[in-house]
Copies of this chain bind each other. A is one copy, B any other.
Amino acid sequence: MTLSLRDLAQDVLKGNRRSVARLMTAIENEDPESRAAISQLYPHTGNAYIVGVTGPPGSGKSTLIGQLAKQYRKLRKNVGIIAVDPSSPFTGGALLGDRIRMQELSADEGVFVRSMATRGSLGGLARSTVDLVNVLDAFGCDIIFVETVGAGQSEVDVIKLADVVMLVMVPGLGDDIQAIKAGIMEIGDIIAVNKADRENAERTVLEIREAIELDTEQKEWIPPIVKTIATSNEGVEELVKKLEEHRVFHMKAGSARTRIKGEIQLLEALKARLSETVMVGLKGDRDYEIMIEKIASRQLNPYEAAATLVDKIVRRNQD
């Protein structure tokens, strides 16, 4: 309890699991000191392969990640799992049986499972996730799965930080497949069609292949489609193979993506810092309170108010 967060960072580097958990809690609580710890860990990051996993609720993402984790453990890799999806069994949002299976997984010393319990108010989700990934990376995880439901803006931001995005689909999504074709599909590097023993699995694969072919004429990496049945571990080895193929591809093509990831990390940190700095100044400020009252009563419009505030806050070039 008397350990500072900086010491915590040292303990994370030494491989202390409890320190990892405590630092993560500090990050989730948006404890400002957690930033110093992250800063200390940052030079030790960049080694993990970060796999974003997304797809509709009920597609079996968590079970599939669980099986992938076991497979990677057989290859003697250390595995990290971060669940951002509020309906994930990892976040306690599922049936007891699922949760017990997940607990089994996290009893393995080579696996670290963490769910995002909270949702920050100022875009905190994406930022916290970046930090959690960095902690697991510095801790020594070789591969980190980040599970998101993939529907919101924040989740899309999270996905941008992944080295590879695995999209988990399921036969018989009906209407929803159209939407996914149009939207989320374009971010999938590897497509798993899970629950492939269901009827219409073949048709789903064909539909996805068509959508991919329409979309990827100039792409260097054509997203492979792998049929899986997570509950019986079918197709999981194949999925690992594809993930590893993509890792090789990614390393060759890497520098552009590394730069983008650098910029995203900077922008996230910048937005957080700006919001905090500005909010600290505003909270309790009499003018700010009056502005809110006026906006609520429609006497002032929010854009005008924001412009006034920004003029007060931001240093101009002539300064």
Interfacial residues, chain A to chain B (CB-CB below 8 A): 35, 38-39, 42-43, 45-46, 56-58, 85-89, 91-95, 98, 119-120, 122-125, 149, 151-156, 174-176, 178-180, 182-184, 258-259, 261-263, 265-266, 268-275, 277-278, 291-293, 295-299, 301-307, 309-310, 312-315, 319
What are 26 A-to-B residue pairs whose CB atoms are below 8 Å? A35-B303, A38-B301, A39-B303, A43-B299, A43-B301, A56-B57, A57-B57, A58-B175, A86-B179, A86-B182, A86-B183, A87-B176, A87-B179, A95-B175, A119-B153, A119-B156, A123-B123, A154-B154, A262-B293, A262-B295, A269-B303, A270-B310, A273-B309, A274-B314, A312-B315, A314-B314
A247 CA to B313 CA, complexed, in Å: 39
Residues of B within 8 A of A305 (CB): 266, 269-270
Chain B residues in 8 Å Cβ range of A258:
296
* Contact call B261/A87, Cβ cutoff below 8 A: no
Query: Does B94 contact A175, Cβ atoms closer than 8 Å?
Result: yes
> Which residues of chain B are within 8 angstroms of A292 by Cβ–Cβ distance?
259, 262-263, 266
How many angstroms from the CA of A45 to the CA of B298 in the assembled complex? 7
Chain B nearest CB: distance from A261 CB in Å?
7
Contact B94 A293 (CB under 8 A): no
Q: Chain B CB within 10 Å — which of A175, A259, A272, A310 has the most?
A: A175
A interface: dominant SS: helix
The chain B residue sitting closest to A317, CB to CB, is B281
Specify which chain B residues have a CB less than 8 angstroms from the CB of A85 in the assembled complex: 151
Chain B: which residue is nearest A32 at the CB level? Answer: B303
List of B residues within 8 angstroms of A266 by Cβ: 291-292, 295, 302, 305-306
A309 partner residues in chain B, CB cutoff 8 A = 270, 273
Interchain CB contact under 8 A, A123 and B259: no
The docked-state distance in angstroms from the alpha carbon of A298 to that of B46 is 7
A58 contacts B154, CB within 8 Å? no
A123, closest chain B residue (CB): B123
> Besides A87-B183, A95-B178, A262-B293, 20 other CB < 8 A contacts?
A38-B303, A43-B301, A58-B175, A87-B151, A87-B180, A93-B178, A95-B175, A98-B175, A123-B123, A152-B152, A152-B154, A154-B154, A261-B296, A262-B295, A262-B302, A268-B302, A269-B305, A273-B309, A278-B314, A315-B319
